[in-house]
């Protein structure tokens, strides 16, 4: 017996945080050093086994630029889950991530599962945001937190499968 669960989720975060790279790593197992900027938003889907279920992920990868901000509600409204991505080497991207969390808490689906992903965890020597600070913030705001690297693949599948585990079964 195989259960198929459809998960609509959205990736939000500052330009350059690595949203497209995370989704490319998750969906295709690839990493591109010079990933092109996303225009508007891009759609991906991926089916994977999580525990005893087959889960279909439908992912909207948003652009992150301020000029596309007004489009964001189209993607997060009704989303079962969101991954908010920042770059651990960029403090401004962490500040921007917190703004997205506030917006989702105010406007998003109240049962939304939210993940905070501190990406580029391979660039340890350039770190600007400590894992402790992000973990504390995540706990205080009801998100779960992981540091990821789209480059090395560290924790990428884990973020997606953790979300799947936390979602109510349909």
Do the Cβ atoms of 53 and 168 come closer than 8 Å?
Answer: no
Residue nearest to ligand GDP (CB): 18
Residues that bind ligand GDP (CB under 6 A): 13, 15-21, 32-35, 37-38, 64, 119-120, 122-123, 149-151
In the complex with ligand GDP, which residue's Cβ is closer, 10 or 38?
38
161 binds, among Mg ion, ligand GDP, none (CB under 5 to 8 A by kind): none
140 burial level (CB within 10 Å; 0-12, 13-18, 19+): exposed
Return left, alpha or beta for 18; rule: phi > 0 is left, psi -120 to 50 is alpha, else beta. left
Sheet holding 3-13, edge to edge: 41-50, 53-62, 3-13, 81-87, 113-119, 144-147
Structure tokens at 103: 């917006």
Residues 6+ apart with CB under 8 A from 42: 20, 23, 60, 61
102 binds, among Mg ion, ligand GDP, none (CB under 5 to 8 A by kind): none
Residue 38 contacts Mg ion per CB under 5 A: yes
93: contact with Mg ion by CB under 5 A: no
By CB under 5 A, tell whether 149 contacts Mg ion.
no
Q: Backbone phi, then psi, for 50, in 5-degree steps?
A: -125, 120
Exactly one of 11, 20, 57, 85 binds Mg ion (CB under 5 A); that residue is: 20
Q: Which is nearer to Mg ion, 99 or 166 (CB)?
A: 99
Distance CA 26, CA 38 (A): 17
Of 43 and 139, nearer to ligand GDP (C-beta) is: 43
- Residue with Cβ nearer ligand GDP (3 or 124): 124
Q: Least CB distance from residue 92 to Mg ion, whole Å?
A: 17
Q: Which is nearer to Mg ion, 44 or 144 (CB)?
A: 44
- Number of other residues whose CB lies within 10 A of the CB of residue 124: 11
CB of 26 to ligand GDP, least distance (A): 12
Query: Which stretches of the chain bind Mg ion, using CB under 5 A?
Result: 19-20, 38
């Amino acid at each position: 017996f195989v259960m198929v669960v459809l998960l609509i989720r959205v990736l939000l975060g500052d330009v350059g945080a690595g949203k497209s790279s995370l989704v490319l790593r998750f969906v295709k197992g690839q990493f591109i050093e010079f990933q092109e900027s996303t225009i508007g938003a891009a759609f991906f889907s991926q089916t994977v086994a999580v525990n005893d279920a087959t889960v279909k992920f439908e992912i909207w990868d948003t652009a992150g630029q301020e000029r596309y901000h007004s489009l964001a509600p189209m993607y997060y409204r009704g989303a079962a889950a969101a991954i908010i991505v920042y770059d651990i080497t960029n403090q401004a991207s962490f500040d921007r991530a917190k703004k997205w969390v506030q917006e989702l808490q105010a406007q998003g689906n109240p049962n939304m599962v939210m993940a905070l992903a501190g990406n580029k965890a391979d660039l340890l020597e350039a770190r600007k945001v400590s894992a402790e600070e992000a973990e504390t913030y995540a706990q205080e705001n009801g998100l779960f937190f992981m540091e990821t690297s789209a480059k090395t693949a560290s924790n990428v599948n884990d973020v997606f499968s953790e979300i799947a585990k936390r979602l109510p079964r349909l």
